[in-house]
Structure 1
Amino acid sequence: MKNIIFCFLFLACFTVQSLAYDIQKIRKDYIEAIKDANAADKLYKELKAIKNPSPLILAYLGSADAVRAKHSWNPVNKMAFLKQGCKTIDKAVELSPNQLEIRFLRFSLEHFLPPFLGYSKHLEIDKKKILELVQKSNVQALHVDENILKNMVNFMIDSKRCTDNEVSVLRKVIA
């Protein structure tokens, strides 16, 4: 019996570690995908192949699809990738509305989209939720490390979408 419990705990720990490793790789690959079309296609295919993805994986899948739109020269493909990407990110938010990283991915994507496309409708909602989450939670509860949190906060400040009061709140988070 002890051996079975030990094996179960070992596998559980191994699974948690491999998931943490995978999300770190996905984050790194996503940054590369923003710059490189081949990396965007590769990341999209890898994420699409994941069976039963978590809401966070769904958010990265949608983001990768939207990044593919950025790199596409064909206007029809651009809009198809963007539409599907936004739909997937919206689903991730619906499944996990209080996860900071998911909200941030949608906010950052919508920040860069031209308003006339009609896909920037969650900016204010996501900004408020991000502010609420970073004020109420410690870094561990947010499921991101301090460096990622600092990058998110700095992006929010640099976006110029926050009021002076909101910027003050954000600065306190990384102080």
Structure 2
Amino acid sequence: MKLLFSLLLTLLVTVLPAADTADAQSPYALPALRRHYRQAATDEEASRRFHLLMRNYAQRDAVVLAYKAASEAIMAKHTGGVFDKLDRVKAASQQFDAAVALNPKHPEVRFLRFSIESNLPKFLGASKHLDEDRALVQQALLRHPNSGLDAEGFRIVRDFMLTNNHIGGSEAAKLRQLPE
């Protein structure tokens, strides 16, 4: 029995690091998604590649679903007709709702929705969560390193919020002082 237990333990120890490596190499790992998102925001071809990757995602991780929603919204910029653009924005909104329902307090989920909604034209009336998402993201950032974001996520979210003047005053000064 001890020999069997030792063999199982050895097998688990050798298999588990491989699984961690596979996760880090996944196209849905956060560093890869963040890179795709930043590129897609400024480059049409990158947005198409990002959308192709994300439309195949069928699992239920809230953060990955939020990136899927963001990829749909970004594609609205590169879609032909007005109704097609509106359909993409509507689909993205539904995907964001699903992501938020899975993890309503996750700052990266709320940040992604905020970053998309803050860039939509006001006349669409599709930016319904700006105040709520801004408040949650700001509170999370100010709690860093207990924000729920890793160092890279914190830096990306903080820089976006500060650079685009979504957080100002004493809160902005506090954020600039926080270590990553």
TM-score (norm 1): 0.85
Partner of 1:93: 100
Shift of 1:9: 4.2
Match for residue 61 of structure 2 among 21, 33, 54: 54
SS at match of 1:50: coil
Tell me whether 1:19 sits opposite 2:19 in the alignment: no
Match for residue 120 of structure 1 among 127, 147, 164: 127
Inter-CA distance 111–88: structure 2 relative to 1 (3 Å threshold)? same
Tell me whether 1:82 sits opposite 2:86 in the alignment: no
Match for residue 172 of structure 1 among 162, 174, 177: 177
The superposition leaves residues 24-70 of structure 1 with CA deviations (integer Å, 9 ceiling, x where unpaired) of 22221222222333332332232222232311110000000000001
Partner of 1:30: 37
Opposite residue 142 of structure 1, the aligned amino acid is: G
Superposition RMSD in Å: 2.2
Which segments of structure 1 move beyond 4 Å, counting only runs of 4 or more? Answer: none
Alpha-carbon contact 1:104-1:152 (below 8 Å) kept: yes
SS at match of 1:35: coil
Match for residue 6 of structure 1 among 2, 5, 10: 10
Opposite residue 35 of structure 2, the aligned amino acid is: K
Match for residue 160 of structure 1 among 141, 147, 165: 165
In 1: Cα distance, 2:149 partner to 2:19 partner? 16
Larger radius of gyration: 2
Inter-CA distance 7–48: structure 2 relative to 1 (3 Å threshold)? farther
The superposition leaves residues 71-101 of structure 1 with CA deviations (integer Å, 9 ceiling, x where unpaired) of 1122111111111112111221221122221
Unaligned runs of 5+ residues in structure 1 are none
- Does 6-15 or 90-99 show the bigger shift? 6-15
As a proportion of its length, which structure holds more helix? 1
TM-score (norm 2): 0.82
Unaligned runs of 5+ residues in structure 2 are none
Match for residue 140 of structure 2 among 133, 137, 140: 133
Inter-CA distance 93–10: structure 2 relative to 1 (3 Å threshold)? farther
In 1: Cα distance, 2:145 partner to 2:94 partner? 30
Q: Percent identity?
A: 25
